Amino acid sequence: MTRVYFDNAATTPMDPEVMKQMVQVMESQYGNPSSIHAHGREARTLIEKARRTVAGLLHTSPAEIFFTSGGTEADNMAIRCGIIDHQIKHAITSPLEHHAVMHTLEAMEKAGMIKLSFVEVDNKGAINYEHLEQLLQQNERSFISLMHANNEIGTLTDIKRVGELSEQYNALYHCDTVQTVGHYQHDLSKLKLHFMVCAAHKLHGPKGVGFLHINHKVKVNPLIYGGSQERNMRGGTENIYGIVGLAKALELAYADMEQHQQHVQSLKSRMISQLQEIPGVHFNGETAPDKSLYTVLNVSFPEMEMADMLLFSLDIAGISASGGSACSSGTNIGSHVLNAIGANPDRPAVRFSFSKYNTLQEVDYTVNKIREIVSVNA
Task: Supply the pLDDT for residue 328.
Answer: 40
pTM of the model: 0.94
Please tell me the distance from the alpha carbon of residue 75 to that of residue 91, in angstroms, as a whole number: 14
Name the residue ranges covered by the structural domains of the chain.
4-13+256-377, 16-255
For the domain made up of 16-255, the CATH class stated in words is alpha beta
Q: How many CB atoms lie within 10 A of CB 82?
A: 21
Distance (Å, whole) CA 184 – CA 339 = 28
Task: Return the active site residues.
Answer: 327
Instruction: Give the orientation angle of helix 240-255 with respect to helix 38-58, to 10 degrees.
Output: 30
Secondary structure class of 116 (helix, strand, coil): strand
Amino acid letter, residue 177 = T
| The pLDDT value given to residue 374 | 86
Query: How high is the pLDDT of residue 330?
Result: 46
CATH topology of domain 4-13+256-377: Aspartate Aminotransferase, domain 1 (3.90.1150)
Low-confidence spans in the chain with pLDDT less than 70: 305-308, 324-333, 377-378
* The pLDDT value given to residue 1: 77
pLDDT reported for residue 376: 74
